[in-house]
Copies of this chain bind each other. A is one copy, B any other.
Amino acid sequence: MSNKNSINSIAKDLGVSTTTVSFVLNGKAQEKRISDKLIKKVLDYIEKIDYKPSALARSLRTGKTNIIGLIVEDISDPFFSTIAREIEEKAYKSGYKIIYCSTENDTKKTQELIEVYKDRQVDGYIIIAPDGVEREINDLVKSGKPVVLLDRYLPNVSTDYVLVDNFESAYKATNHLIENGFKNIAFVTINSLQSQMIDRLSGYEKATKERGFPQFVKEIAYHDSNDAVKHIISFLSRSPEIDAIFFATNYLCVSGLRAIKSMNLQIPQNIGVVCFDDYELFELYSPSITSVSQPTEAIAENAINILLSRLKKPTPGNKHQTVVLPTSFIIRESSK
């Protein structure tokens, strides 16, 4: 009557070997020619004492943890948390658990997190990477663990990617503003060299250049959204000719809405607004905000499918794939 249930205690209690119990546990009993009588005996006993194998011990022995490490920018941002939940759900169905955490776009924190995940020996990684972790991610890839990167492309990292068409989407969104009569369109982004930001900027630049329109680009530091409001106010004050703004992320747009509100500007009469990334707030805001909506479910689905297929078959050489998904453009009141 010990309170420690292990494969050994079961074997002892039943007077069989641990090998036998293990075979039964892993469904290899038939294959290994354990008699049906004995199989039943073991199964019944396991059921009776409500035995669960130690995932820890199993992982130590097999080298597999059935855990996928998910690293996002900020789990409290709806864009990321939605993706996280969808990935979690799909992984769950295939017997994988997700552990996730936020980088807050902090290189050092991310390096530490990758270290932690290595420690825990996760089987695979889905990462939304900040700048400066190319080396660590390349090490992961080299170590043979599947790595799927989302949202942004790292030029020096060869692995699987799931991206959206940032350039085309931003081009289209900017053109939408142009077609609605806006001529002095600003682009508000963060001070980052992340590919998705650069692509969005390029889309904006192409559209404005094609018409010979002036360009107003404001870069804001990633952290501290209070400052963002102030910076946007002073940016707009310094260039009063600006008649529309294209925000490169949802949180920048939220800061922008605060700024616009405090300056008593009317949307879209005084200033048109379009945002990259949708957000429940944008639909409910008065006026509602036009936005580029990313296909979170498709992103999650592609990411987890690629990862799971890599986990099944050890990665076949360097044949990595890059999936580029289209966005959808949701026209609302703020841009007409």
Contact = CB atoms under 8 A, between A and B. Distances in A.
Given A56-B120, A284-B281, A88 B101 contact: yes
B121 A55 contact: yes
A56 B102 CA distance: 23
Kindly name the residue among A56, A84, A286 whose own CB sees the greatest number of chain B CB atoms within 10 A.
Answer: A56
Nearest to A287: B286
Contact of A284 (B55, B116, B120, B254): B254
A120 B55 contact: yes
A153 interface: no
A264 to B, nearest CB: 13
Interface in A244-259: 254, 257-258
Given A75-B81, A284-B254, A284-B257, A52 B115 contact: yes
A284 to B, nearest CB: 6
Interface string A54-87: 1111011000010000000011101001101100
Interface string A167-204: 00000000000000000000000000000000000000
- How many chain copies? 2
A119 B84 contact: no
Contacts of A85: 74-76, 102
Contact of A286 (B57, B65, B78, B286): B286
B75 A84 contact: yes
A314 to B, nearest CB: 16
Contacts of A76: 78, 81-82, 84-85
A311 interface: no
Given A81-B81, A82-B76, A280-B254, A55 B285 contact: no
A217 B277 CA distance: 36
A88 B57 CA distance: 26
A122 B285 CA distance: 42
Contact of A55 (B52, B97, B119): B119
A289 to B, nearest CB: 10
Interface in A208-255: 254
Contacts of A135: none
Nearest to A286: B286
A122 to B, nearest CB: 11
A60 B54 contact: yes
Nearest to A78: B76
Contacts of A78: 76, 78
B254 A52 contact: no
Given A81-B75, A99-B99, A280-B281, A121 B88 contact: no
Nearest to A57: B60
A329 interface: no
Nearest to A109: B92
20 contacts: A52-B115, A52-B119, A54-B60, A55-B121, A56-B56, A56-B59, A56-B60, A56-B120, A56-B121, A57-B60, A74-B85, A76-B84, A76-B85, A78-B78, A88-B101, A97-B116, A97-B120, A100-B100, A261-B284, A284-B285
CB-based closest 4 A-B pairs = A76-B81, A55-B119, A286-B286, A99-B99
